[in-house]
Amino acid sequence: MTDAITLLKESGAMLEGHFLLSSGCHSNRYFQCAKLLQHPDKAALALALVAGRIREAMQAGVIRVDAIVGPAMGGVIVAYELGRQLGLPAFFTERDDSGAMTLRRGFEVEKDASLLIAEDVITTAKSSLETAAVIEKLGAHVAALACIVDRRADGLQVALPLYVAAKIEAANWDEKDCALCRQGIPVVKPGSRKMSLHATSANQALV
């Protein structure tokens, strides 16, 4: 089976440079998983190992999963593909006009249901935690998290089981500690979440 890192590279989804992440951190790597997920065959391969591990955990009684939910945008296709492979319903949360994560479009969560949250990339797990809050407010609970790329900084823990296709090392600098900012290298913001870009102390050109 082709590993997820190979699939990311082949599809041009793993970028090298100086990036502003949705979390607000700066990094030397960016994972544009949409470039991988645009290919259904590659999406299926990348998530097959994740689905297999989740299935084993379910069969062993380690976790119970009644449905899969993915934070928009990155988690939509990931949740759908995991749902397809596991034979489970899949839907998504999204941000409203105020930027708050919410459940819309007629999606419903049954009380006491056990859900798995699926994302493309986890850096700080912010979107997953926001989605978990939405789910729990509706009376359900979160059994686990899953993603294609786990790029969390060392020491950043999540309090739920985490099933990943690839754990990849990448810098997660605060702007004030960014080694690439100190070198005067322009920063690029390639993500989909709206953020305010501002000039750094080095007066970098922002794209």
Average pLDDT, the chain: 88
Residue 33 pLDDT exceeds 50 = yes
Counting residues of the chain whose pLDDT is more than 90, the rounded percentage is 73
Is this model's pTM higher than 0.75 or not? yes
Domain count for the chain, please give it: 1
CATH number for 151 = 3.40.50.2020
Q: What is the pLDDT of residue 185?
A: 94
Give me 63's structure tokens: 């976790």
Angle between helices 40-59 and 75-86 in degrees, nearest 10 = 60
CB atoms within 10 A of CB 200: 17
- Which of 113, 127, 116 has its CA nearest to residue 54? 116
Query: Is residue 202 in some structural domain?
Result: no
d(CA 172, CA 137): 31
Which range marks the domain in which residue 177 is found? 4-182
Query: Is residue 205 in some structural domain?
Result: no
Query: Is residue 19 in some structural domain?
Result: yes
Query: Is residue 190 in some structural domain?
Result: no
d(CA 195, CA 102): 19
Query: Is residue 193 in some structural domain?
Result: no
Q: What is the pLDDT of residue 152?
A: 86
Q: What is the pLDDT of residue 203?
A: 28
Q: What is the pLDDT of residue 119?
A: 95
pLDDT tens digits along 63-95: 999 999 999 998 999 999 999 999 999 999 999
Exposed, middle or buried, 192 (CB in 10 Å: 0-12/13-18/19+)?
exposed
